[in-house]
């Protein structure tokens, strides 16, 4: 199972490199476009260098604290996979490795995005389909890289710790530091980039539109460049690190639950056919199959010059969701089968089906509340014609309404 996960992850990384090369080979547009994009790229890279230097210093302090707590403060437990010192070393190294992978994922996302932006803007002058594909494939580089790196990291640590003689059911307890390290980087990347971009956005509007009379998003206003820098470091680098953290934490948490489930099933004399390793590695296998589904979905997106781009994106999502549904079914039947309970795996499969259906519902909900064709946006636009007060009231009412529907869907 681990070799399959590692193979799919490596192939996904290779495909991400292929997409990146395709995006970077596209036309870069006019000299003026390149000049503005160059300023954004320079600012984004400078911001990320400074941010990473801060994270590095804090990360070293946190790593030292983790080592001290595990080695000298935390009392030993009979269920511990190793001695306190060995646990401290393994957890600290996993923490550092997770932080490194999270930072790399964020940087890759930003590196590609600030270059895909320029090429998409250039492509849209001649072809809507080409621009849509460049934008989507540029984003797919980050998405594939994040998930593949997470799987490689968790899978690699699993193989390494198993080689050192750690019992398989105890391994997830030693790699929790991997998720914690990723979370630390994501915290700074999301908050730092988010605060920066919002401050620059508000400052650009106040000074440019209100005081100087410069149109919105005019590159003559330096704050506009700062705002676009913030969009890249917050929404691209920060989002990449955040998604990596979420993926890693979900994988490790599900592995811990899987180990507990398999152990309890064995004690109840209804063991899983794949044994403890199969149940514990199920989340990695299911997510690896999801990578394949995502690749096919991304490559299936295309449109013509008169079609709504959202329709093409929706088709790609349907393809990916359908393949993910099949892949999840295969993984469930393969790894969660219980010979004594022939239909038990269907219960797990039904849970996954509910999750996929919920994500599909969220797509519709998001589009309904954000697209101009539907009632919520039209109501806000109509309210804006009578003044700022009615705009704020209508916007708040729509915002409260749109949070209620997802809550109901989740519950």
The predicted pLDDT at position 404 comes to 87
- Flag whether 385 is in a domain: no
Structural domain boundaries enclosing 189: 2-284
- Phi, psi angles (nearest 5°) of residue 241: -65, -40
Contact 196, 47 (CB under 8 A): yes
Distance in Å from the first CA to the final CA of the chain: 33
Number of domains the chain contains: 1
The pLDDT assigned to 210 comes to 67
Please, what is the average pLDDT of the chain? 89
Residue 313 counted as domain residue = no
Q: Give pLDDT, residue 228.
A: 84
Domain-located, residue 41: yes
The token duo for 16 is 């991400």
**Contact yes or no for 16/105 (Cβ under 8 A):** no
pLDDT tens column, 175-206: 889 999 999 988 888 877 778 877 877 777 77
How far, CA to CA in Å, does 67 sit from each of 63, 88, 92, 113, 157?
Answer: 6, 5, 6, 37, 18
Q: Is residue 107 part of a domain?
A: yes
**pLDDT tens digit sequence for 277-318:** 899 999 999 999 999 999 999 999 988 888 888 889 999 999
| pLDDT > 70 fraction of the chain, expressed in percent and rounded | 99
Nearest of 405, 408, 340, 354 to residue 376 by alpha carbon: 405
Cα separation values, 186 from 138, 189, 242, 243, Å: 21, 5, 5, 8
Question: What confidence tens digit (pLDDT) does each residue in 90-142 have?
Answer: 999 999 999 999 989 888 888 898 899 899 999 998 888 999 999 999 999 99
In a domain, 243, yes or no: yes
Query: Which of 11-15, 43-47, 195-199 bottoms out in mean pLDDT, i.e. has the lowest?
Result: 195-199
| Cα 165 from chain centre | 32
Tell whether 297 is covered by a domain: no
Q: Is residue 340 part of a domain?
A: no
In a domain, 353, yes or no: no
């Amino acid at each position: 199972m681990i070799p399959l996960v590692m193979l799919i992850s490596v192939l996904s990384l290779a495909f991400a490199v292929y997409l990146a090369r395709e995006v970077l080979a596209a036309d870069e547009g006019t000299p003026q476009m390149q000049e503005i994009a160059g300023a954004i790229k320079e600012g984004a890279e400078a911001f990320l260098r400074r941010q990473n230097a801060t994270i590095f210093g804090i990360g070293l302090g946190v790593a030292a604290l983790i080592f001290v707590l595990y080695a000298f403060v935390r009392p030993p437990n009979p269920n511990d996979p190793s001695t306190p010192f060995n646990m401290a070393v393994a957890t600290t190294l996993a923490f550092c490795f997770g932080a490194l992978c999270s930072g790399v994922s964020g940087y890759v996302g930003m590196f590609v995005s600030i270059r895909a932006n320029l090429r998409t803007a250039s492509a849209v002058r001649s072809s809507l389909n080409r621009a849509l594909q460049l934008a989507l494939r540029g984003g797919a580089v980050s998405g594939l890289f994040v998930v593949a790196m997470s799987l490689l990291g968790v899978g690699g640590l699993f193989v390494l710790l198993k080689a050192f003689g750690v019992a398989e059911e105890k391994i997830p307890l030693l790699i929790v530091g991997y998720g914690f390290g990723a979370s630390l980087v994501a915290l700074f990347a999301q908050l730092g980039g988010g605060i920066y971009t919002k401050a620059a956005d508000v400052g650009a509007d106040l000074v440019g539109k209100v005081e100087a009379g410069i149109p919105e998003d005019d590159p003559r206003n330096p704050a506009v460049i700062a705002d676009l820098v913030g969009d890249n470091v917050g929404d691209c680098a920060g989002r990449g690190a955040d998604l990596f953290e979420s993926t890693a934490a979900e994988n490790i948490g599900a592995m811990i639950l899987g180990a507990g489930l398999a152990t309890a099933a064995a004690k109840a004399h209804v063991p899983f056919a794949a044994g403890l390793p199969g149940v514990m590695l199920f989340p990695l296998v299911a997510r690896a199959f999801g990578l394949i589904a995502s690749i096919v979905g991304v490559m299936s997106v295309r449109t013509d010059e008169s079609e709504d781009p959202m329709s093409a994106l929706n088709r790609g999502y349907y393809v990916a969701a359908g393949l993910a549904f099949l892949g999840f079914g295969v993984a469930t039947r393969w790894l969660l089968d219980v010979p004594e309970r022939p239909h038990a795996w269907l219960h797990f499969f039904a849970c996954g089906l509910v999750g996929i259906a919920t994500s599909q519902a969220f797509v519709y909900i998001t589009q309904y509340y954000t697209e101009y064709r539907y009632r919520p946006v039209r109501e806000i636009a109509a309210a804006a014609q009578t003044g700022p007060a009615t705009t704020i009231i209508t916007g708040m009412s729509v915002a409260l309404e749109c949070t209620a529907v997802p809550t109901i869907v989740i519950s």
